[in-house]
């Protein structure tokens, strides 16, 4: 939720803005260019309003001031406004793209918010839980509020605290300079705040300085040459630097063009962990596709291949050194609980089938938002696997904390370096899907399944549940998957046509069994979030226990048919399920393996996927469902990458 960017560096570097058709270097100089570039890359975090604040003036004795522009609507509206009224060049800027919580998406509620004296601007991600009390106190003192946001209290509190700290600069025991005064003000205010927040602030009297703070909400630092950056995640600055610092919980950071200083909220110095970002900027561009989602769907073979890369030794055995978890912990694990949300939870659901089969350890899959409220039974022998693309979903963060407090070990499967979940977990296994910009998750899902499978095989290898050659066989199967996924991608025309035909459908059902069940749930989720269509996924065996009543003439039903090689006549049972709904008037769209002719009698349309081992099937069967949802949304004229009401990184509970 909400994208946050900060820049401190030269006012002009001669490089031009990457923003096509607007807000070029004539407006706001390098600071604005850097911040808008970051916001464009972070727009997936929230897109109902956007704004920037720059500290401008001061050269040749001109008066310094704060220049703020903000607009409700997409980032493009802000860029139009900046084009119409260019801002002076600046070396200090902050920018924000909002996902509204307190107060609707209006110009007034857009960030930045300014202090009463107009000298400080602040942007915020998260929720200030005690804002109502703070606001009432401020109002009682005569402070007037210009917005309905919780954020505005921080602008007023910081404005006052900064004025006081700036007045103490140079005094005995006072801050050493204006930048330190602003940092001190931030620390004072943060100690008063409750809830989740990332805050960035600039002040007219602290030119060249951006101060940030974080509690339960993400913030990373980008280290450039002669310029430094702050961002909600590394995507904010990957066009400029890949060198980054992780910030911990309850820390304040002050950046200038050539310095980064981090402290706790109490002022104790902190040495942050440095890391190098392995995403490149091109990966976060559309690369000729109409939608990021389309591009990301097409990147799935690479996402799987990259997640497998470097995880076997010369003998072909699986090595997961990066886990850095005591193998004794993994050996004694007697239960695994997967915690995740949305698509990531479905990846965990798929993994359950494989991990239980390979390791003989019971696996529970729990929605992270429900986990801690049911008082789960956790012991030091429980391994909690937290799956998250962003590494920031607050529901998962809170579940991770709960699990650790209860003595369980937590292993994070995550796609985003420098994010909170792997940092707070006991161990981390990264997926290498690259930046996922479209709000709907696609390539991360395939990469998560791949990483979960690696973990499952590693456990089986370590605990002796599988022989080395069995592990190698499955690894070979996994290594063959990028090609199989590519085959599906090469055949999407039929599903695209179907989507255009079904554009007016009122409801679509998805049926699957075994690993096909979470795929059915994922297919339905994609369609809901992108095409705003009623869609439900069911375990095909549950059909007769109720959902079949939904079926009426013409009802589109996707049926994910398992391989004819599956155990326990699963294939025949799902084919029967397809027949049952078809007999009641459903239009069945059957996803089946090449050569599986047994489905022909129960299908109105067969979408073919290559023949792969049963446990690998989700990696291919989900792809037509992703394409279908994208294409229905596109045919309806909807914004595929930024569906209504959603944000990619859900950093509030
Ligand atoms: C659906 C989708 C969401 C996310 C969920 C978890 O397309 O993107 O359901 O999967 O919000 O997000 P992460 O994986 O970032 O924790």
297 lines ligand 1 (CB under 6 A): no
pLDDT tens digits for range 537-558:
999 999 989 989 999 999 999 9
Strands 228-231 and 220-223: antiparallel
Res. 317: pLDDT tops 50: yes
Classify residue 144 by burial, with Cβ atoms within 10 Å: 0-12, 13-18, 19+.
exposed
Percentage of residues of the chain with pLDDT beyond 90: 83
Ligand 1, atom 7: closest residue by C-alpha? 440
pLDDT of residue 61: 76
Q: Check: CB of residue 193 under 8 Å from CB of residue 154.
A: yes
342 lines ligand 1 (CB under 6 A): yes
DSSP 562: P
Say which CATH architecture domain 3-283 belongs to.
Answer: 4-Layer Sandwich (3.60)
- Domains 3-283 and 286-479 agree in fold: no
pLDDT of residue 107: 94
Q: What is the mean pLDDT of residues 296-318?
A: 93
Domain extents in the chain: 3-283, 286-479, 490-640
293 lines ligand 1 (CB under 6 A): no
Res. 19: pLDDT tops 60: no
Rg of the chain on CA atoms, in Å: 26
Classify residue 248 by burial, with Cβ atoms within 10 Å: 0-12, 13-18, 19+.
middle
With a CB cutoff of 8 Å and minimum separation 6, the contacts of 461 are 317, 318, 468, 471
Band (pLDDT 50/70/90 cuts) for residue 26 is low
Q: For residue 435, report the distance from its CA to the centre of ligand 1, in Å.
A: 13
Pocket probe for ligand 1: among 45, 235, 341, 366, the residue whose CB has the most ligand atoms within 8 Å is: 341
Band (pLDDT 50/70/90 cuts) for residue 604 is very high
Res. 197: pLDDT tops 90: yes
Q: What is the mean pLDDT of residues 73-96?
A: 93
DSSP 86: P
Encode burial over 54-63: b for 16+ CB neighbours within 10 A, e otherwise: bbbbbeeeee
CA distance 410 to 368: 13
529 lines ligand 1 (CB under 6 A): yes
Res. 646: pLDDT tops 80: yes
pLDDT of residue 191: 97
Q: For residue 341, report the distance from its CA to the centre of ligand 1, in Å.
A: 6
Q: What is the mean pLDDT of residues 62-86?
A: 93
pLDDT tens digits for range 474-507:
999 999 999 999 999 999 999 999 999 999 999 9
341 lines ligand 1 (CB under 6 A): yes
pLDDT of residue 174: 87
Q: Check: CB of residue 124 under 8 Å from CB of residue 213.
A: no
Q: For residue 8, report the distance from its CA to the centre of ligand 1, in Å.
A: 32
Query: End-to-end CA distance of the chain, in Å?
Result: 11
Q: For residue 519, report the distance from its CA to the centre of ligand 1, in Å.
A: 15
369 lines ligand 1 (CB under 6 A): no
Band (pLDDT 50/70/90 cuts) for residue 124 is very high
Band (pLDDT 50/70/90 cuts) for residue 443 is very high
Catalytic residues: 2, 648
Q: For residue 437, report the distance from its CA to the centre of ligand 1, in Å.
A: 12
| Shortest-distance atom of ligand 1 to CA 421 | 16
Say which CATH architecture domain 286-479 belongs to.
Answer: 3-Layer(aba) Sandwich (3.40)
Q: What is the mean pLDDT of residues 427-437?
A: 95
pLDDT tens digits for range 625-638:
999 999 999 999 99
CA distance 289 to 399: 37
Domain 490-640 top-level CATH class: alpha beta
Ligand 1, atom 3: closest residue by C-alpha? 342
The secondary structure element, H or E, covering residue 558 is strand 556-560
Q: Check: CB of residue 41 under 8 Å from CB of residue 284.
A: yes
Q: For residue 633, report the distance from its CA to the centre of ligand 1, in Å.
A: 18
pLDDT of residue 42: 87
Res. 388: pLDDT tops 70: yes
Q: How far is CA 543 from CA 511, 520, 573, 581, 621, in A?
A: 8, 13, 12, 9, 20
Cis peptide before 89 (omega within 30 of 0): no
Q: For residue 572, report the distance from its CA to the centre of ligand 1, in Å.
A: 33
Q: What is the mean pLDDT of residues 274-283?
A: 85
415 lines ligand 1 (CB under 6 A): no
Ligand 1, atom 5: closest residue by C-alpha? 342
CA distance 589 to 632: 15
Q: Check: CB of residue 588 under 8 Å from CB of residue 578.
A: yes
Among 165-174, 192-201, 245-254, 336-345, whose mean pLDDT is lowest?
Answer: 165-174
Q: Check: CB of residue 385 under 8 Å from CB of residue 483.
A: no
Mean confidence (pLDDT) of the chain: 93
Classify residue 645 by burial, with Cβ atoms within 10 Å: 0-12, 13-18, 19+.
exposed
3-state secondary structure of 120: strand
69 lines ligand 1 (CB under 6 A): no
Q: What is the mean pLDDT of residues 578-584?
A: 95
390 lines ligand 1 (CB under 6 A): yes
Res. 600: pLDDT tops 80: yes
**How many residues are there in the chain?**
653
pLDDT of residue 27: 65
Band (pLDDT 50/70/90 cuts) for residue 651 is confident
| Shortest-distance atom of ligand 1 to CA 442 | 7
């Amino acid at each position: 939720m909400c994208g946050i960017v900060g820049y401190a560096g030269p006012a002009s570097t001669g490089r031009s803005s990457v923003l096509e058709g607007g807000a070029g270097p004539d407006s706001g100089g390098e600071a604005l260019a850097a911040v808008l570039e970051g916001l464009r890359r972070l727009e997936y975090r929230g897109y109902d309003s956007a704004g920037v604040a720059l500290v401008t003036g001061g050269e040749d004795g001109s008066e310094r001031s704060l220049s703020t522009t903000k607009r409700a609507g997409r980032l493009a509206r802000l860029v139009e406004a900046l084009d119409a009224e260019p801002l002076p060049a600046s070396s200090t800027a902050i920018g924000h793209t909002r996902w509204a919580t307190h107060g609707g998406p209006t110009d007034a509620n857009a960030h930045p918010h300014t202090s009463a004296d107009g000298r400080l601007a602040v942007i915020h991600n998260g929720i200030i839980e005690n804002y109502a009390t703070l606001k009432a106190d401020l109002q009682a003192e005569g402070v007037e509020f210009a917005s309905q946001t919780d954020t505005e209290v921080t602008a007023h509190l910081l404005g006052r605290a900064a004025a006081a700290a700036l007045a103490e600069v140079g005094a005995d025991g006072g801050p050493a300079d204006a930048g330190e005064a602003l940092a001190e003000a931030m620390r004072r205010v943060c100690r008063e705040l409750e809830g989740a927040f990332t805050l960035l602030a600039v002040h007219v009297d602290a030119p060249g300085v951006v101060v940030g703070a974080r509690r339960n909400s993400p913030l990373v630092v980008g280290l450039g040459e002669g310029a430094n950056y702050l961002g909600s995640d590394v995507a904010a600055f990957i066009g400029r630097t890949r060198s980054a610092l992780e910030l911990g919980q309850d820390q304040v950071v002050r950046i200038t063009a050539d310095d980064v200083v981090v402290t706790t909220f109490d002022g104790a110095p902190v040495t942050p962990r440095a890391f190098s970002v392995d995403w490149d900027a091109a990966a976060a561009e559309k690369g000729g596709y109409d939608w990021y989602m389309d591009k990301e769907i097409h990147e799935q073979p690479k996402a799987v291949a990259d997640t497998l890369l470097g995880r076997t030794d010369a003998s072909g055995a699986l090595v997961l050194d990066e886990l850095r978890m005591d193998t004794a912990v993994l050996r004694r694990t007697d239960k695994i609980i997967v915690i995740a949300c949305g698509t990531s939870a479905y990846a965990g659901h798929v993994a359950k089938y494989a991990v239980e089969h390979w390791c003989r350890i019971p696996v529970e899959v729990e929605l992270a938002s429900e986990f801690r409220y049911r008082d789960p039974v956790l012991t030091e022998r429980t391994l909690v696997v937290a799956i998250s693309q962003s590494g920031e979903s607050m529901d998962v963060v809170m579940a991770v904390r709960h699990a650790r407090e209860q003595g369980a070990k937590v292993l994070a499967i995550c796609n985003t370096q420098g994010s909170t979940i792997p940092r707070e977990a006991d161990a981390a296994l990264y997926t290498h899907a690259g930046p996922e910009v479209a709000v709907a998750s696609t390539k991360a899902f395939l990469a998560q399944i791949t990483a979960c499978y690696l973990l499952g095989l590693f456990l089986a290898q370590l605990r002796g549940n599988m022989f080395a050659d069995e592990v190698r066989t499955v690894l070979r199967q996994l290594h063959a998957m990028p090609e199989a996924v590519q085959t599906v991608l090469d055949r999407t025309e039929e599903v695209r046509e179907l989507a255009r035909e079904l554009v007016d459908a009122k409801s679509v059902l998805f049926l699957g069994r075994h690993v096909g069940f979470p795929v059915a749930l994922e297919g339905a989720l994609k369609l809901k979030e992108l095409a705003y269509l009623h869609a439900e996924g069911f375990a095909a065996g549950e059909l007769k226990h109720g959902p079949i009543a939904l079926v009426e003439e013409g009802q589109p039903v996707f049926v994910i048919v398992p391989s004819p090689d599956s155990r326990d006549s699963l294939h025949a049972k799902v084919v029967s399920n397809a027949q049952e709904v078809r007999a009641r008037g459903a239009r069945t769209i059957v996803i089946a393996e090449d050569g599986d002719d047994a489905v022909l009698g129960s299908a109105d349309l067969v979408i073919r996927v290559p023949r792969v081992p049963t446990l690998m099937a989700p990696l291919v069967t989900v792809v037509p469902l992703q394409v279908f949802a994208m294409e229905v949304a596109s045919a309806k004229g909807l914004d595929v990458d930024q569906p209504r009401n959603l944000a990619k990184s859900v950093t509030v509970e």
